[in-house]
Chains A and B, each alone.
Chain A
């Protein structure tokens, strides 16, 4: 496998897991902040900075992870298509599906 492809895949996944971990941390910090004050007016900023921002980070991280999988599958399909093309070009016109008259049969 191409080293560049491997490194790129790792970066996608590492970034995704990092963002998910940061989102989880933000949720925990938000909960700590909310539970530390009885005043709703002081709790709402924690809900936004911890809750909404944490959910946003988790969402972006998940998107990165799934995108990495989709990219891997796309590159795999690209490789299969390349093999098919080279296969057909190696086999030449005789391997192309034709509807014309059959050439003379020769025992292989």
Chain B
């Protein structure tokens, strides 16, 4: 997949080709149906062409539906991956006493940003708590994700 394309839309190149083919084919079948029905004065001869038009509409609708489902699935999958990657939980853990120190933002040595204690970017690291002013004096900026 082209990276530039992947950054702007949730569809693969194959999906783009498929939507153009199904939409074009559907419209062509509807046009053929109109051409066939308008060239006849007998209902019996027009009904098969009407069937062609309905088939075209079904082809077009199916192609568009699959396109939308593919896009929705890709967006949902990416959202789930992103949420799993950054699971910021602002609520204190059940059973954990919330003290003033627990609420202070944290950072570890060498870190250039400070975080909320529950921020995913701080979990599992040897962090220490300090006031925001102390972190700022130490040259750290607030985390752009958890916004301490």
Contacts and interface: CB of A to CB of B under 8 A. Distances in A.
Interface residues of B, number: 63
Given A56-B26, A70-B71, A94-B110, A48 B33 contact: yes
Contacts, number: 149
Contact of A105 (B40, B46, B67, B128): B128
A40 B45 CA distance: 12
B10 A71 contact: yes
Contacts of B121: 87-88, 91, 95
A95 B43 contact: no
Contacts of B60: 56, 59-60
17 contacts: A41-B46, A45-B38, A55-B57, A56-B26, A67-B71, A70-B71, A70-B72, A74-B9, A74-B10, A77-B82, A81-B82, A94-B110, A94-B125, A97-B123, A105-B126, A108-B109, A108-B135
